[in-house]
Structure 1
C-alpha cells in the first residue's frame, strides 16, 4: 500500500511539473543574423549558444561585427512568442566592467526592438539608451519588455555626430549572449506561464504579467475582452461605427456591421453603403416608373 501511495504521489508530481511552464530562455540555439561578421568564429549564433564564460574578442563565445556606421543583430524565436524580459551580456575582454573598460563606448547608445518581421521599424522599441555613461552602463543589462513578437533585434548606430562623451566613433556588435525570457507557448501568462489568456483576446495573446488583452476579437471590448460592443459599434475592439444610413441609424450587427432593419431611402447594401438617386420617367400612359441610379459608395 505504501508503495502504491508513493507511486500516486510521484505521478501527480510529474503531471504538475509538465503543466507548469516557467519563463524560459526562448532564444537559446535559435537562428540568428548580424549585419557583418568579423571572424570565422564570431558569427551571430555565438550570442545564443548558451556559452559566455570567456568574454574576450578571441574566446569564440561572442558575436562580433566589423566596424561601421550601423550595427544590427537579431534572433528568430521561431514564431510569435510572449516575452517578459531580455538579458544582454556584452563583451568585457575579461576585465572589470567600469569606466576604464573601453568596451563601454561600443555598447552605449544601443536599442532593442521586438518585431514580427525582420524590419525593426515594424516592431516595438523596447529600450533605447540615451542616459548611460561609461561609469553607469550595466553589463549584463536586464530589459523588461512585456510584449510579443518573433524577432528580437539589437541595433546601434553612429550616424549623427558629434556623439556624447565616451561613445565610440563607430558602431560594433560585441554580444556574448542575448537571453530572451518568456512563455514558450502562446496563450499563457503569469510568472510560471501557467495562467490562460482570456478566451476573447485577439489571436490569443495577452500581457505576460497582467493577462490583459493586446486586442479583442470581433464583438468584444474591455481590458480582458469580456464586454460586448456598445450600441453603435462593431468589429475588432469595437472600433468601427455602425452606419448612420441604416434603417435604424447607428444600429448594426456587432460582428459584421450589417444594418438592422434595412436601409434608409436612397441607400442599399448590407451596410447601407451604396447611395442612389431615383429618376422619374413619364410614360405615354402617364404611369411613373422610379429607377435607381447609383451615385456613390462608402464604407462605414
Structure 2
C-alpha cells in the first residue's frame, strides 16, 4: 500500500506518492521545450533521468532566463498517453527544503496541464498551487493527473500584482526532473497496465471508466459510430464534400465514393485549384478576367471574361468587333457592330455572297460576279459588257 497524503488547495488536490514505481515513466528522454533558456541548461535536462545533483548549475537541471513574467516548460510524450501522475523535482541547491531555502519562492504558484497540443489552454488543468507557502510547499511532488494527453506542461507566472507573501518577483523555472507515469499503450489500465479497456474506449488509468472514446465513436459506452457527416475524435470533425452527400468513414473521414464536383483529396475537403473545376477537378477554367481562377464547382468566372472570350465560363471566343471594340462577355455581341467582312451576333460569320464591308452592310456592285467581302472589289470579274474595279463602267 502507498502512503498517500492529500494536500487540498481550493478545489485542487495533489496526491503525494513517496514511492510509486508501478507505471512507466513516459517522459524519459522525450523531446522537451521551454519558453527561455539560460546558457546551455536546456529543457531536455529535466527528462534525462538524472537528478542526484540538485544545484541550479550542477548540470542536471534546466534553467530559464531571469526577470521573466511567465515561464513555461513542456515535454512531448510522442503521442496521446494514458497518464496516472506527474513527478516534479525542483532545484534545492542540495540544501534542506524548508522556508529558508531561497528556491521555494520560485516554485510557489506553479501549475501543471495535460494537453493534446502545445497550448495549455487546449488542455486540462491537473493542479494549480494557490495555497502553499515557503514552509509548506513540497519538493519533490507527485501530482495526480488521470487524463489522456500528449503534452505535459509546467507553467508559472508573475503577472498579477500583488503576489502572495513569499513569492518571487519574477517567474523562474529550475526543474531538475519531470517524470510522467502512466500506461505506454492506449486502451489499457490498471496498476501494471495489463488490463484492457472496453472496446472503442480510452479508459481511466486507474479503472475502466471511459474517459473518452477512440476516434470514430461516441456515446456513454463508445458503441455508436460517428454519424451526421462527422468523424474522428469525439466526432467533432466534419466530413468533406463526399459524392452524393454520403457519410464519410467515421474514423478516418475518407469519402467512400469520391467527391462532389469542385472538391478533391481523400476526405474531399480541398477545393479544386490550378485553374481547374468540376468532378475530380478534370476540367480547365476558361479565360476569366485578369487571369483569375474560375469557380471550383461550375467553372463560372466571377469577374467576367478576358477580351476575346465570352459566356458563363468564358470558353467561347468572340472578336471582329468594329474598331477593335471588346465584345460583351455574356453573349459575345459587339456593341457597335462588326468589323469589315463579318456579320452575325458575335461577328464570327463571313459575309454572305453579294455583301461586304462593316457588318456586311454594303452590297456588291450589281454587275459584279462576286466581290471581295472586305473592300467590295470585283475580284472574280464582271458581267458581260461591264468593266472597272467595281464593274461600274460599260465596255466601250
Normalised to the residue count of structure 2, the TM-score between the two structures is: 0.50
CA distance in 1, matches of 2:80, 2:123: 12
Show CA shifts across 1:133-159 (max 9, x none): 000000001100100111000000000
Decide whether the 8 Å contact of 1:112 with 1:155 is kept in 2: yes
CA distance in 2, matches of 1:123, 1:139: 25
1:214 deviates by 1.9
Residue 14 of structure 1 aligns with which residue? none
Map of 1:187 onto structure 2: 187
* SS of equivalent to 2:132: coil
Call closer, same or farther: CA 1:136–1:198 in 2, change over 3 Å.
Answer: same
Distance in 2, Cα, partners of 1:187 & 1:72: 30
CA contact (8 A) 1:22 1:183 kept: no
**Would the aligned equivalents of 1:114 and 1:124 in 2 still touch at CA under 8 Å?**
yes
User: 1:118/1:220 Cα in 2 relative to 1: closer, same or farther (>3 Å)?
Assistant: closer
The match for 1:63 is 62
- Partners of 1:114 and 1:125 within 8 A in 2: yes
TM-score normalized with structure 1 length = 0.66
RMSD: 2.7
Report the equivalent of 2:171.
Answer: 171
1:211 counterpart (203, 208, 213): 208
Task: Name 1:126's counterpart in structure 2.
Answer: 126
SS of structure 2 residue aligned to 1:215: strand
1:135 and 1:116, CA in 2 relative to 1: closer, same or farther beyond 3 A? same
Kept in 1, the 8 Å contact 2:46–2:62? The answer is: yes
Is the contact between residue 200 and residue 217 of structure 2 (CA under 8 Å) also seen in structure 1? no
SS in 2 for 1:45: helix
**Preserved contact between residue 212 and residue 234 of structure 2 (Cα < 8 Å):** no
User: How much does 1:206 deviate?
Assistant: 1.2
Is residue 79–residue 149 contact of structure 2 (8 Å, CA) maintained in 1?
Answer: yes
- When residues 75 and 219 of structure 1 are mapped into structure 2, their CA distance, relative to the original with a 3 A threshold, is closer
1:184-263 alignment runs, 5 A limit = 184-201=184-201, 205-216=202-213, 221-222=219-220, 224-225=221-222
For residues 140 and 119 of structure 1, the distance between their equivalents in structure 2, rounded to whole angstroms, comes to 25
> What is the number of residues matched between the two proteins?
214
The question of whether the paired residues in 2 share the 8 Å contact of 1:24 and 1:183 is answered with yes
Cα distance in structure 1, aligned partners of 2:97 and 2:234: 51
Q: Deviations over 1:196-215 (max 9, x none)?
A: 110032xxx11111111123
